[in-house]
């Protein structure tokens, strides 16, 4: 029997029927993620969790209508958001998204922002064992903001959005597993438990943190007609995407979409300035997650297409990314210089465009310089993750990487190594398919599931392009 997989993403909520025997994603459906709740303060970013739940119920209902016999439901989701729930799992707050920056508001002490105060109360050793996830856009910061103002009632529990949705669908307690627990910024990644020292230091000791479940544990059952369908504890979309890309420990991952991440799998917890996140079956992912990606390039694209935009119908011209690719292909090198770190939270100076001359301020030069700069940033971060440069090739995933072949080629030239694309456009949903094979006992391990998946694919989709 097939499974159903659901990915509650930032832009879309996607679902598919997972055929575990043929490794196919059938009936891939998507709905736009609900609109943000209108709030006066632009630093706040909140969504109505009931809107998210309604969208998931609609998607799940459509999939179950065509697949009345279903073996199980798996879910992954955008990380780093939270909904405050009571002991019965009922939502008592909006969903505070990872795009929320309330921590930048001034702290009542007058000594900087809430985030400044949070960082001052913790030390480097504590932050490192949290996987360097104690950041501005994390539930730890949201909870601290509430607690410091006396707005955090006792006995409330922070739930990730997929844990809240899954509990609403199938009951049970509001537990979580390590990939979502670590996204709070309060989870000791090294020991695999909530970090009580940090929690007490931040004045969050009255918060009821969810029970940590093992991966693959059934969270409850969803009633669909006469069927009771097992629902598995949700996982993080970041880890699910790497799994769906069939990443192996000797490969380097570059996921480039709205943002970008440079990542590698490891078998041991390691200390560094990178983020360390739990993966599956006791592995870890070392990553730099705040890299420039599509959001950065959209700033430049918006500038160039500003006068060609009709506010009612969108772009008058053809797909602008095709024009960008063509213009870069015609520009072998450029004297223009671009610093693409427009969204660096810690860089007050922002990005830049330099060395403008009358003959180089063109779309081709602008995007060629941006691609060159982004490739250099990725390479520098990769060398910090992997000082001996021991990767055998790069694995590209994410919408921007799969859309712009010229970008991948420029990165390949910077790295002087081969690359391959993730074999599936819906990498998170395919990651859920592989997890379903393991959770259902079809494969004994993640590695076995990956080997089985590779055997069904054309050879050129799992082997890297030749080294340049």
Tokens of 392: 């055998």
**What does the pLDDT look like over 71-97, one tens digit per residue?**
999 999 988 899 999 988 899 999 999
Question: Residue 386: pLDDT band by 50, 70, 90 thresholds?
Answer: very high
Beta-bridged to residue 3, according to DSSP, are 18, 72
Q: Please, are residues 15 and 2 in contact by the beta-carbon 8 Å criterion?
A: no
Q: Which domains does the chain have, with CATH numbers?
A: 3-237 (3.30.420.40), 247-421 (3.30.420.40)
Question: 462: Cβ–Cβ under 8 A, 6 or more apart, which residues?
Answer: 246, 420, 423, 454
pLDDT at 468: 46
Backbone angles phi, psi at 14, to 5 degrees: -115, 150
**In this model, does residue 310 exceed pLDDT 60?**
no
**What does the pLDDT look like over 165-191, one tens digit per residue?**
999 998 877 799 999 999 999 999 999
Question: Residue 318: pLDDT band by 50, 70, 90 thresholds?
Answer: low
**What does the pLDDT look like over 219-274, one tens digit per residue?**
999 988 778 899 999 999 999 999 999 999 999 999 998 889 999 999 999 888 99
**In this model, does residue 347 exceed pLDDT 70?**
no
% the chain with pLDDT above 70: 93
pLDDT at 306: 66
**CA 229 and chain centroid, separation:** 27
Give the total residue count for the chain: 468
The whole-angstrom separation of Cα 426 and Cα 423 is 9
**What does the pLDDT look like over 413-466, one tens digit per residue?**
999 999 999 888 889 999 999 999 999 999 999 999 999 999 988 766 666 765
What is the pLDDT of the chain when averaged over all its residues?
A: 89
Question: Residue 343: pLDDT band by 50, 70, 90 thresholds?
Answer: low
Burial group, residue 250, by CB count within 10 angstroms (0-12, 13-18, 19+): exposed
pLDDT at 224: 82
């Amino acid at each position: 029997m097939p499974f159903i997989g659901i990915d509650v993403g930032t832009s879309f909520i996607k679902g598919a029927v997972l055929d575990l025997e043929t490794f196919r994603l059938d009936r891939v459906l998507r709905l736009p993620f609900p609109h943000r709740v209108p709030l006066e303060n632009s630093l706040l970013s909140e969504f109505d969790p009931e809107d998210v739940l309604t969208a998931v119920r609609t998607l799940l209902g459509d999939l179950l209508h065509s697949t009345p016999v279903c073996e199980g439901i798996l879910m992954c989701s955008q990380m780093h958001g939270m909904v405050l729930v009571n002991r019965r799992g009922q939502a008592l707050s909006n969903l505070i998204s990872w795009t929320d920056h309330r921590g930048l508001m001034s702290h009542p002490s007058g000594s900087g922002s809430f985030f400044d105060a949070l960082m001052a109360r913790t030390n480097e050793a504590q932050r490192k064992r949290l996987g360097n996830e104690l950041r501005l856009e994390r539930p730890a910061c949201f909870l601290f903001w509430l607690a410091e103002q006396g707005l955090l009632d006792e006995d409330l529990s922070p739930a990730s959005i997929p844990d809240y949705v899954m509990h609403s669908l199938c009951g049970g307690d509001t537990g979580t597993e390590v990939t979502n627990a670590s996204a709070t910024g309060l989870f000791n990644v090294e020991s695999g438990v909530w970090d009580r020292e940090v929690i007490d230091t931040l004045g969050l000791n009255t918060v009821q943190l969810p029970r940590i479940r093992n991966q693959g544990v059934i969270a409850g059952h969803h009633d669909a007609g006469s069927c009771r369908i097992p629902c598995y504890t949700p996982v993080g979309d970041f880890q699910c995407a790497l799994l769906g890309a069939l990443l192996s420990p000797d490969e380097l991952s570059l996921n480039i979409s709205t943002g970008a991440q440079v990542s590698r799998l490891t078998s041991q917890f390691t200390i560094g300035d990178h983020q360390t996140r739990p993966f599956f079956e006791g592995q870890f992912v070392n990553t730099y997650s705040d890299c420039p990606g599509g959001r950065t390039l959209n700033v430049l694209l918006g500038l160039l297409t500003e006068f060609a935009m009709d506010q009612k119908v969108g772009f008058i011209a053809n797909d602008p990314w095709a024009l960008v690719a063509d213009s870069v292909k015609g520009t072998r090198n450029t004297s223009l210089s671009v610093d693409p770190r427009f969204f660096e939270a810690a860089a007050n100076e922002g990005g830049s465009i330099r060395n403008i001359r009358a003959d180089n301020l063109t779309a081709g030069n602008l995007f060629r310089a941006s691609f060159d700069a982004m490739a250099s940033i990725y390479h520098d971060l990769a060398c910090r993750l992997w000082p001996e440069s021991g990767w055998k090739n790069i694995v590209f995933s994410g919408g921007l990487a799969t859309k712009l072949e010229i970008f991948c080629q420029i990165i390949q030239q910077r790295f002087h190594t081969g690359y391959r694309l993730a074999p599936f456009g819906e990498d998170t949903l395919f990651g859920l398919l592989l997890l379903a094979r393991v959770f259902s006992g079809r494969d004994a391990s993640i590695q076995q599931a990956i080997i089985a998946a590779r055997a069904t694919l054309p050879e050129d989709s799992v082997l890297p392009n030749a080294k340049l």
